Structure 1
Amino acid sequence: MQDAFAADRAAFARGRKVGIPEGIPAGTRIAPERRRGRGAGINPTGRFEPFARSLEDDGWDVLDELPAFRTEVQVEAPKTIITRNTSPDISFDRSVNPYRGCEHGCVYCFARPTHAYMGLSAGLDFETKLFAKPNAAQLLERELSKSGYEPRTIAIGTNTDPYQPIEKERGIMRQLLEVLEAAQHPVGIVTKSALVTRDIDILSRMAAKGLVKVAISVTTLDRRLARAMEPRAATPTKRLDAVKALNAAGIPTMVMTAPIIPGLTDHEIERLLEAAAAAGAREAGYVLLRLPLEVSQIFKDWLLRHYPDRYRHVLTLLRSMREGRDYDAEWGKRMRGTGPYAFQIKRRFEIAAGRLGLNETRLKLRTDLFRAPKPEGGVQLALL
């Protein structure tokens, strides 16, 4: 078994066509020139589709004529915008996502499988076939104005990044912030983009009232690794610069060292927290690498392409924290894992955070300032 894997790995490194180990579908690997600047290297058919499609070389060079993957944006018109959840291991019960899919292309993104609900692939489709929700702000205002609405922190950026590149043109996230500021509604933001600093004017006003917290995700300080793993996200340096800028504007900021990848990024835990504290972060958190559904095969293919020498080591460590599996979705385990290695990561994080003065207090956002937006039609309509 080990010899077969070594041969497979060596052949892959030389660029030959080989079988892909560990359940990665054959015929789904995309030529490098077609996926340049992207995270995923495969584009498997969505799991709900009745037929699976794959690319095969029949000797006629047809594959060479296929175009490169380009970013395409379609308009989605949802009827509601606030998503509810009852998960006991996350700190919010509602979220908003202005976009579906994410151009950052983070190869480990746990949200990739959601593209299957659109009849698309969790691979390259997820980072090239995007959906924008231009009516998101209007929907949010309408839902906040409903009778009986009880305000709690709305999380934005929990599924796909609200500040991904297309936000520069679309501006949907800024429109959402304008609605939330007008209603004095608390919001928590998670992003890997320095574009968040564009909205410092709104965020600083909300921060002065205790209505906002921003979490910047920094997975590694290694720029080359970040480029391969998160190809269209901001560089680690720019993310830390964003933490500094937000902190200077009085906006509470935390750093998420998420995900921690055993055998690849876990050696950076202390350095990441030191950089976060130096940039002015007040809180920090982490999540262990999660590989649900299609993400497992996408990450394995990426790891085999970029770090073939660490392939077995990374997966062995990960499975040691997931009871021998690639992923355990059980609440209470999915974010942290179990076992000695997971405990070691937890203690290293806690010790480093304590030494640096991180997480001494946890900011709780205010809800008592909330003022429901006036419904369309004003007072007369509200009386009906």
Structure 2
Amino acid sequence: MRSPINSAPGLFPPAESAAPAPPKGRGAPANPDPRFAAWTRDAVDDGWQRAPDAAPATEVFVDSAKTILSRNDSPDLPFDRSLNPYRGCEHGCVYCYARPSHAFLGHSPGLDFETKLYHKPEAAKLLRRELAKPGYACRPLAIGTNTDAWQPVERRLRITRAVLQVLLELKHPALLITKSALVERDLDLLAAMAKEQLVHAAISLTTLDGELARRLEPRAAAPQARLAAIRTLAEAGVPVTVMVSPVIPGLTDHELERILAAAREAGAVGASYSLLRLPHELHDLFERWLAWHAPEKAARVMAILYDMRGGQANDPRFTHRMHGLGHFADLLAQRFALHRRRLGFPGLPELDCSRFAAPARKTDERQLGLF
């Protein structure tokens, strides 16, 4: 029996699905083969009775990365460098645009993305080495842009905390992005960075509906826990922005004003939003999720999304990918701008890049003199 969310009738007939029930506690309803696979698999019911598959357990592997900073020149992003301590994310958000990146590891963007995690134990050491390179120009470093840097495994591995310690020591500014209440654990470091204008924190909120959040983001912090994290950070002097992300048309877009109001009341000083993106395998995964959890709204959600994406499931073009196109996108932008103005978000303060102190390079890493 299906368990639909928000069962008010939609504008289109309900979508049908023959997909089995998603594993309990996981976001992806399936584990499709990655797009680079040399072969594919198809499940076939041969009539033999078998026990149902158990929910997949989380596995953690070492990522022996040689470098730690990623760079971009996207006009859509407020940073040009980022650091991700983890690949894959146990939060299991079904809509996560990072899911297709797991295909580069030979894994499925489905259940593999949230159960086969890779961590970078040398992240802090590699960061220190990168910052010590001659000619390094200090700019704000974004942390957790692809997968959440405070996902559950961070509680044990503490890689993100080690990175923050390096940044605080070297007076290097950072932009933090998370939907985890675990960020409060590092309040001592973040408050110290905030006193020196070295940090902004962005908390992502998709919905205030706890039941819907549990199905969209099964292992992420509950919406009220994220609002509490905004309040805790703000009271400690850390500038916080709320990211209403992603906005899912026909499913969560009606909450835009309520989310902004709740975040502002909790102490957020900045706000942004982005539209649902469905690159590569994510398109099929999300449609399967809709067919199971919100069948009466599935057709309407996808119809509006296609309209906002120029007739496609995804539009990767700069300036369009974050907010979409068309009358629905324009209306969403107007609603956001109007409510942000009404609520009086003052905006984030400037980060200070002037006091960055590059670490000393080790003797064996320095170029030997000619004489």
TM-score scaled by length of structure 1: 0.90
What letter is aligned with 1:38? Answer: R
Q: Secondary structure at the match of 2:218?
A: coil
2:349 equivalent to 1:363:
yes
Change (3 A) 1:7 1:291: closer
Distance (Å, rounded) in 2 between the aligned partners of 1:263 and 1:245: 32
Name 1:375's counterpart in structure 2: 361
Name 1:241's counterpart in structure 2: 228
Name which of 155, 163, 170 aligns with 2:142. 155
Identity among equivalent pairs (%): 51
Q: 1:325 deviation in Å?
A: 1.0
More off after superposition, 238-247 vs 360-369: 360-369
Name which of 218, 221, 229 aligns with 2:216. 229
Name 1:257's counterpart in structure 2: 244
Distance (Å, rounded) in 2 between the aligned partners of 1:90 and 1:135: 26
2:64 equivalent to 1:90:
no
Q: 1:56 deviation in Å?
A: 2.0
Q: 1:86 deviation in Å?
A: 1.1
Name 2:4's counterpart in structure 1: none
Distance (Å, rounded) in 2 between the aligned partners of 1:287 and 1:68: 31
Change (3 A) 1:106 1:83: same
Higher RCO, 1 or 2 (CA under 8 Å, sep at least 6)? 2
Change (3 A) 1:322 1:148: same
Change (3 A) 1:203 1:8: closer
| 1:238-296 deviation per Cα after TM superposition (whole angstroms, max 9, x unaligned) | 00000000001000001000000111001011100100110000000000111111111
Instruction: Work out whether residues 30 and 43 of structure 1, in 8 Å CA contact, stay in contact via their aligned partners in 2.
Output: no
Q: 1:7 deviation in Å?
A: 8.6
Instruction: Work out whether residues 375 and 382 of structure 1, in 8 Å CA contact, stay in contact via their aligned partners in 2.
Output: no
2:43 equivalent to 1:50:
no
Number of aligned residue pairs: give it.
358
Q: Secondary structure at the match of 1:314?
A: helix
Q: 1:161 deviation in Å?
A: 0.1
Name 2:64's counterpart in structure 1: 77
Distance (Å, rounded) in 1 between the aligned partners of 2:220 and 2:95: 13
2:267 equivalent to 1:280:
yes
In the TM superposition, what are the counterparts of 1:1-384 in structure 2 within 5 Å?
9=16, 12=17, 18=18, 29=19, 32=22, 35-62=23-50, 64=51, 66-358=53-345, 360-377=346-363, 381=366
Instruction: Work out whether residues 132 and 361 of structure 2, in 8 Å CA contact, stay in contact via their aligned partners in 1.
Output: yes
Gap runs ≥5 in structure 2: 1-11
Distance (Å, rounded) in 2 between the aligned partners of 1:6 and 1:322: 21
Instruction: Work out whether residues 44 and 54 of structure 1, in 8 Å CA contact, stay in contact via their aligned partners in 2.
Output: no
Name 2:7's counterpart in structure 1: none
Distance (Å, rounded) in 1 between the aligned partners of 2:196 and 2:166: 15
What letter is aligned with 1:346? Answer: A
Q: 1:374 deviation in Å?
A: 1.6
RMSD: 1.6
Instruction: Work out whether residues 14 and 295 of structure 2, in 8 Å CA contact, stay in contact via their aligned partners in 1.
Output: no
Distance (Å, rounded) in 2 between the aligned partners of 1:271 and 1:98: 32
| 1:101-139 deviation per Cα after TM superposition (whole angstroms, max 9, x unaligned) | 000000000000000000000000000000010001100
Distance (Å, rounded) in 2 between the aligned partners of 1:344 and 1:356: 18
Distance (Å, rounded) in 1 between the aligned partners of 2:170 and 2:201: 19
